[in-house]
Each structure stands twice: as structure tokens, then as C-alpha cells.
Structure 1
């Protein structure tokens, strides 16, 4: 029941965002479209179809669906084993439905190079980071529908900064990442342990890799031929997928520690 509920709660805002993009609200927002913005060159592998001009950048996007589906299954298993409360499972389900839904959006952006998918690719990134904030606040202070709704709405609306003559998306993304890091730090301070520290560091390094490898994509391609196949963009997506995985592990470890402490107090 919780799984289906969270599926709808993740899908409906995404459909609203798709509708806003479809009616052309962001048509004048400049986007980098075309293979010239990517370092990867067509593969010489005979089993790669002609329409897949960037095979590695294309196939890597299935990783989001794989890691999302894996963590949806893990969450369901923890519910069956009475490890998670309903609220805790709710948090994990939403985050990993986001990961699963992001897979086709990024895949379609790479394959079609259509403006609408480029906008959606940017836009859905923001609630991803905001949900980490919601997870942290919920673990620290308890679930609050109005607070979660307010934060998610603010996150979605923040993308409208792209309509201003400023680097709106970049500003919003930096603020989202900073907020997620701050809340993660608060979580670690309340439930300190070595595992959480390691997962936090790995998630942070993956986040840096996601950002900088993508920015350096064309530069790396000029440095060595290998980066024209396994490009900076491809490697940044690997980092992004790992980031999702390590965030899940970090939050899971915090939740298990919280449940353990609560059980001790109850005894």
C-alpha cells in the first residue's frame, strides 16, 4: 500500500512538470543540445545500432532504474521484516521512485536531444536533493506533511529562476546541494558512527564527481582518446548513480541507529 501510494505521490508532480514543459513555458530557456556538447564519439562496435550515437552515455542511464529498483526492493524487504516504520519506508520509497523515473528522462534527453527533455533533466534534479533534506528533517524532528510539502513545492518552484537573466539553475542547484549537505551533517552529529561517516564521504565524493566530470567532459576528450568513449559525461553519470546508492546507505544506517536507540530507551 505504501509503495503504491508513494508511486502516485512521485508520479503526479512529475506529470505536472511534464505538462508545464510541454505547453512551452520554458521554451526560451537556453539548453545545450546536440552531440557537439558531448565528448563521446560513435562506437565502432557492430552490435550498436546507428541511432545510438553515444552508446555509453545512453546505456549508463539504465543504472538509475537499476539502483532505484534495487532500493525499492530493499525497502519492501525491510518492511516485511518489521525493520522500517511506515514513515521510514515512505521516505525511502519516494527517493527511489525518483531515481527510477529519472532513468527514462535522461535516456530520452541523450537519444533525442530535444529541448523539453533537457529542461526536465535539469528540473527533476532539484527535488532529488530536496528529498534528502526532507528525509533528514523527518529523522531529526518527525514527519510533518505541511513542512515536507512546503519544501518540495519550494524546490520545484526554484527552477523558475531559469527565466531570469541569471544562471538560475546553477544557483538553485548549489543551494539544494548545500541544504542536503547541511542536513546530512546534522544527522551525523546526532547519530555519529564510522559507517555513516564513510557513506557520507563516499556520497560527497560521488557528488563532486557528478558535477566536475560533467563540466570537464569536452576538456577530458581533448586530453586522451579514451575519454571520447568513456567520456567525462559518462563517468559523471556513474558518480551520480553511486551518489544515489551511498545516500541510501547513509540514511539507512542512520535510521537503523535511530531505531536501535529507540528500542534501548523502550526497554
Structure 2
């Protein structure tokens, strides 16, 4: 866990430092509470002014801690445990990042919220590559280069107002493509179910977030808004990705014995 913590925390701290400089002053981010459909509650402190949208971020950290501390199913090598721990630590840190963005409504946490999403999605192909190649053929420098490229790809947000959306779309498409490919090669009915649920959760996250204000016209979405439910879908996407990637090695081993 020490290696995973080091490899997640060092880039995270560097990104926090860079996000608080003038480097990203030109990035298009929303800094107003009007961007969210949930109404602010007068009298509550800033970190709870939108209570539902704020508190839902605890789910990321709780889910991350669950997978961080959960014993690996079946035999788990130190390297496969490292894969799980890195992904879990990313989830643990992502909750406070999003909460800080809502509490402060400032540029630096908004930039960091967008930026940190990219290496999270990038870790899915890295983990899949480890499963496909096995510990003997898996290359740590190649994985590090992939994550570094993901972090640097946020630079596209500096050159176009929709640069982040384009970059994120590419990350999502690559993760889904890799997931489908490894499922066809090594998966079974159980992993297929996890993959479908992860993809559906991802779609729910995107659609509900985009329809936040439109859905707020209906009573059902006026307190627990589309943005809130999009975060629930995002946590589910994280969870089912863990389920899928954790179950794949056992499925691959069974198929190899057939």
C-alpha cells in the first residue's frame, strides 16, 4: 500500500500545486452555484450550502476505502493488489476534491476536479493491460507513461473551451473499448454483467449531469437533483469497474484451463 499511496499522492500534490497557479486561468470551468439545479440552503455553512450535492461525495471515499481495505478475492499477488489499491486511493481522494469545488466555487478546485478525472479513467486500461499480459510481461514504465500522458492531455483544455470534454470522451471511449475487448477474450457471464452495469452507470452519470436543470422542473428532482443522481451513478461506475477488473483474472484462469 505504501507504493500505491506514494504513486497516487505525489502526482496529486503536484496537480494541486499547478492548479493553484495562473497556468489554468484560461480553462473554461463553472464557478457559480447557478450551474447546479440544487438550491442553496440559507444558514448552512458553505461546505453544506448544497447539502445533497455535497454529502454525496462521501460515497466516493467510502467506496474507495471499502475496496482499499477489502481482502482480495482468491489468490492475489502483490502487483495485482497494487492495481486495486491505486484505483481505490484515487476514489478516496476524488470525493474531497469534488466537495471542495462545491464548497469554494473557485477556479483551482474546479480545475482539479476535471483534471483528476482523466488519470482515473486512464487507470482502467492500465489495469486491463496488466490482466491481459500478466505480471511477467506487464511493463511498469509503460503504465506510468500512459498515466502521465493522461495527466498532460488536460492541456487540451488550455487551447479549446471544449478541450476537457473532448479529452474525457477519448478516455471513456478507450476504457470501454479495452473493457469490451478483454471481456470477449477472458470474461464470463459474471464479468459481462459487471461490464454492462459499469457502462450503464457511466451513461447515467453523463446524461443526468447534462439534464440537471431540465429535470429540476419535476418535483422528484428538485432536492435530489440530476447532478446528485449523476454522482450516485459515478460511484456505481467506480464500484462495478472494481467488480469487473477484480473478477477478470479468475475468469481468465478458468477459461485457460478449459
Relative to the length of structure 2, the TM-score reads 0.94
Q: Which moved more, 1:20-29 or 1:252-261?
A: 252-261
| SS of match in other structure, 1:32 | coil
Deviation at 1:53, TM superposition (A): 1.6
**Does structure 2 conserve the Cα–Cα contact (< 8 Å) formed by 1:43 and 1:229?**
no
Aligned length: 254
| SS of match in other structure, 2:44 | coil
Aligned to 1:73: 69
5+ residue gaps, structure 2: none
What is the aligned counterpart of 2:195 among 166, 191, 200?
200
**Does structure 1 conserve the Cα–Cα contact (< 8 Å) formed by 2:186 and 2:255?**
no
Aligned to 1:62: 58
Instruction: Note if 1:137 corresponds to 2:129.
Output: yes
Query: CA RMSD of the aligned region, Å?
Result: 1.7
Deviation at 1:179, TM superposition (A): 0.5
| 1:12-51 alignment, distance < 5 Å | 12-43=10-41, 49-51=44-46
5+ residue gaps, structure 1: none
Deviation at 1:69, TM superposition (A): 0.1
Change (3 A) 1:181 1:82: closer
Instruction: Note if 1:10 corresponds to 2:5.
Output: no
Aligned-partner Cα distance in 1 for 2:162–2:69: 38
Deviation at 1:192, TM superposition (A): 2.7
**Does structure 2 conserve the Cα–Cα contact (< 8 Å) formed by 1:40 and 1:230?**
yes
Aligned to 2:247: 253
Deviation at 1:166, TM superposition (A): 4.7
Aligned to 1:231: 225
Change (3 A) 1:114 1:61: same
Aligned-partner Cα distance in 1 for 2:130–2:187: 17
Deviation at 1:17, TM superposition (A): 0.7
Aligned-partner Cα distance in 2 for 1:192–1:31: 39
Aligned to 1:240: 234
**Does structure 1 conserve the Cα–Cα contact (< 8 Å) formed by 2:187 and 2:251?**
no
1:50-77, Cα deviation, whole Å (9 max, x unpaired): 4322000000000000000000111xx2
1:107-151, Cα deviation, whole Å (9 max, x unpaired): 100111111000000000011111001011111123211210111
What is the aligned counterpart of 1:105 among 79, 97, 108?
97
Aligned-partner Cα distance in 2 for 1:183–1:191: 12
Aligned-partner Cα distance in 2 for 1:236–1:200: 18
Aligned-partner Cα distance in 2 for 1:112–1:225: 27
Change (3 A) 1:219 1:82: closer
Aligned to 1:158: 153
Deviation at 1:258, TM superposition (A): 3.0
1:61-101, Cα deviation, whole Å (9 max, x unpaired): 00000000000111xx22xx861111111111111100001
Q: Which moved more, 1:141-150 or 1:3-12?
A: 141-150
